[in-house]
Amino acid sequence: MHKPDFKEAKTTDKRPYETKKFSLEDAYKNYFSGKTYFLKTYGCQMNEHDSEVIEALLEEMGFQKEEDYEKADLIVLNTCSIRENAHNKAFGMLGRCKHLKEKRPDLMLGLCGCMSQEEVVVEEVCKHYPFLNFVVGTHNFYQIPELLVKSLQEGLQVEVFSREKDLIEDLPTERKTSYKAYVNIIYGCDKFCTYCIVPYTRGRQRSRTKDAILEEVKQLLEDGYQEVTLLGQNVNAYGKDLYQDYSFGELLEDVAALGVPRIRFVTSHPWDFTDHMIDLLAKYPNIMPSIHLPVQSGSNRILKLMGRRYTKEMYLELVQKLKAKIPNLALSTDVIVGFPGESEEDFEETLALVDICQFDNAFTFMYSKRVGTPAEKLPQQIEESVKEERLQRLNERVNHFFLENNKKLVGTTQKVLVEGASLKQKDAYFGYTETNKLVNFSGKDLAIGQIVPVIIEDAKTWSLDGRAN
């Protein structure tokens, strides 16, 4: 079994990888014809997009999708390590798979994603779940076909690379919809925020080449896609690891010029957000006025301990500039409560920042200790009950502004991308505004994937109600 050296993940080499083209070996094509798979995805959009690739790989091998895991011939878990509860959910599912395997010894099982990159997890899985077919890391899930076939002869295959493998282009993708697509532009992250496991599980930042990205977007445009989301843990750092003078702003402008009707990008780190990017948002109507800008805390002391590289004042200045240049901007954020050492005063500074920024959406989390991150070792870990109480107060505060911002839209007409029809109600649809707000609306004979004007009639905390003309 290949035993990874996890220490290697901390290498500071620049560009220790190559770009290679993928093609599925003929021997694996249709190998599992007639068999079914169930794929469960945990975590962020990165994992969701990786799952689109895994699905396409499995389907090229002949597998068909099965929605009920108890009936599938193969179960794959694409896991997340960002917080302990994601971790626990995957282990819960692994336990259910173990029972199923006892009843059906032919069942094939695989684990991939961020948890496979954690040394402790790999050790535990090898010890308690040795009947798995494969454990595959985030840098090499394209090897699933080869490893799955090999496992039928040799048993559990573990292929986890601590150090970034080559960037693989031309992977097949089974996209969830025919109107909205994710496009990876950068993998990994170099920020090493002290609470975060991502730089260890996803590795150092590696940007795809300009040509590969623009080709993929052009193809999506030809295929009629209405919305493209440029994806990365920190998209603003795009290009910093490439030996070419081409920044995220330049990429965004090139993508906008191609004429994709709606362009989004996630996630932005405030530290790398340039004035050039703000100008682009103001200039191009097809770059959507919705920015996800994680702040994490409103206390400078905590931001410093988190290794976020900006102060509250810098964040507020950026928000002010964004709001001044993009009047219809919807701003969303991530906040962590109960980071080690967070006092009541620190937390109140976060609440005060929320009052100033008046976010349109916020993902709020209790700090979760992650093995191997610097914050794990910090003194003054906060009690769960205190974290819970702070989370509740924070949620009340952010929810207030979601509703207030939504109310301002009542009576306006919003352009909505129709994403689905209600199963329960006739002539009822749902979709998202340019500012990424969910709208439930009435309309007649609307096509999914079309952009339509919708008059907003009512506002709720997490959605809007309206009618199409």
Site of interaction with ligand 5AD (CB under 6 A): 82-83, 195-196, 294, 296, 334, 336, 365, 367-368, 370
* CA-closest candidate to residue 409, choices 332, 463, 354, 468: 463
Which of ligand SF4, ligand 5AD, none interacts with 233 (beta carbon under 5 to 8 A by kind)? ligand SF4
Which of ligand SF4, ligand 5AD, none interacts with 319 (beta carbon under 5 to 8 A by kind)? none
Which of ligand 5AD, ligand SF4, none interacts with 73 (beta carbon under 5 to 8 A by kind)? none
- The DSSP result for 252-288, as a single string, is HHHHHHHT-SEEEEE---GGG--HHHHHHHHH-TTB-
Beta carbons of 184 and 49 less than 8 angstroms apart: yes
78 binds ligand SF4 (CB under 6 A): no
Nearer to ligand SF4, 158 or 293 (CB): 293
Which of ligand 5AD, ligand SF4, none interacts with 368 (beta carbon under 5 to 8 A by kind)? ligand 5AD
- In the bound complex, what is the minimum distance in angstroms from residue 334's beta carbon to ligand 5AD? 3
Cα separation of the two ends of the chain? 62
3-state secondary structure 326-350: CCCCEEEEEEEECCCCCCHHHHHHH
H or E element at residue 235: none
Which of ligand SF4, ligand 5AD, none interacts with 82 (beta carbon under 5 to 8 A by kind)? ligand 5AD
Which of ligand 5AD, ligand SF4, none interacts with 252 (beta carbon under 5 to 8 A by kind)? none
189 binds ligand SF4 (CB under 6 A): yes
**Number of H-type helices and E-type strands within the chain:** 12, 21
For residue 225, how far is the Cα from the chain centroid? 20
> How many residues are present in the chain?
469
CA distance 302 to 288: 31
191 binds ligand SF4 (CB under 6 A): yes
| Candidate segments 38-46, 170-178, 188-196, 297-305, binder of ligand SF4 by CB under 6 A | 188-196
91 binds ligand SF4 (CB under 6 A): no
Give the pair of three-digit tokens for residue 384. Answer: 């769960």
| Candidate segments 126-134, 175-183, 192-200, 340-348, binder of ligand SF4 by CB under 6 A | 192-200
CA distance 165 to 8: 12
Nearer to ligand SF4, 121 or 198 (CB): 198
Which of ligand SF4, ligand 5AD, none interacts with 199 (beta carbon under 5 to 8 A by kind)? ligand SF4
Nearer to ligand 5AD, 86 or 109 (CB): 86
Amino acid in the structure at residue 64: Q
- The DSSP result for 117-146, as a single string, is G-HHHHHHHHHH-TT-SEEE-TT-GGGHHH
CA distance 371 to 368: 10
Amino acid in the structure at residue 461: T
CA distance 343 to 277: 35
Which of ligand SF4, ligand 5AD, none interacts with 269 (beta carbon under 5 to 8 A by kind)? ligand SF4
230-240 as b/e: b if 16+ CB within 10 A: bbbbbbbbbbe
Angle value at C-alpha 396, between 393 and 398, nearest 5 degrees: 110
CA distance 80 to 370: 12
Of 28, 91, 131, 192, the one binding ligand SF4 (CB under 6 A) is: 192
233 binds ligand SF4 (CB under 6 A): yes
Of 160, 193, 394, 454, the one binding ligand SF4 (CB under 6 A) is: 193
- In the bound complex, what is the minimum distance in angstroms from residue 253's beta carbon to ligand SF4? 23
Which of ligand 5AD, ligand SF4, none interacts with 431 (beta carbon under 5 to 8 A by kind)? none
- In the bound complex, what is the minimum distance in angstroms from residue 406's beta carbon to ligand SF4? 27
- In the bound complex, what is the minimum distance in angstroms from residue 196's beta carbon to ligand SF4? 3
Q: Which residue is nearest to ligand 5AD (CB)?
A: 334
- In the bound complex, what is the minimum distance in angstroms from residue 55's beta carbon to ligand SF4? 25
201 binds ligand SF4 (CB under 6 A): no
Nearer to ligand SF4, 193 or 291 (CB): 193
Question: Residues interacting with ligand SF4, by CB under 6 A?
Answer: 189, 191-193, 196, 198-199, 233-234, 269
